[in-house]
Amino acid sequence: MTSDDRNGTSASAFPDADWRRSTASGQLGNCVEVAMLGSGEVAVRNSRHPTGPALVFTPAEWAAFVVGMQREEFALPADHPVARLG
């Protein structure tokens, strides 16, 4: 099964997943959680809906996203309300 086939699948379909969230999330309750799957893929879910849909990324897709984050390619504008939380 490819990652495309699993996108939108309930996160509970990954019972062995070790879901993690950033320590920067604090106690806000609006967190994204990530799990490295045994297949090498990466699953992402909303912590407020732990059995809700998960997005599944290939290792290459996840690596490209992480590099983009490191380069601040996805940074929010300074006047964005969420940008002030960091």
- The full DSSP string for 21-84 is E-GGGTT-S--EEEEE-TTS-EEEEETTSTTSB-EEE-HHHHHHHHHHHHTTTTPPPTTSGGGG
Total count of domains within the chain: 1
Residue 1's SS3 state is coil
Give pLDDT, residue 53. 94
User: What mean pLDDT is reported for the chain?
Assistant: 85
- Per residue in 48-85, pLDDT (tens digit) is 888 999 999 999 999 999 999 999 898 888 888 776 55
Confidence tier at 36 by pLDDT (50, 70, 90): very high
pLDDT at 32 over 70: yes
For 20, the domain range is 3-85
Taking residues 31-40, report their average pLDDT.
92
- Whole-model pTM: value is 0.79
Residue 57's SS3 state is strand
Phi, psi of 59 (to 5 degrees): -55, -40
DSSP 29: S
What does the alpha-carbon distance between residue 9 and residue 38 come to, in Å, rounded to a whole number?
A: 16
Give pLDDT, residue 71. 94
Taking residues 29-40, report their average pLDDT.
88
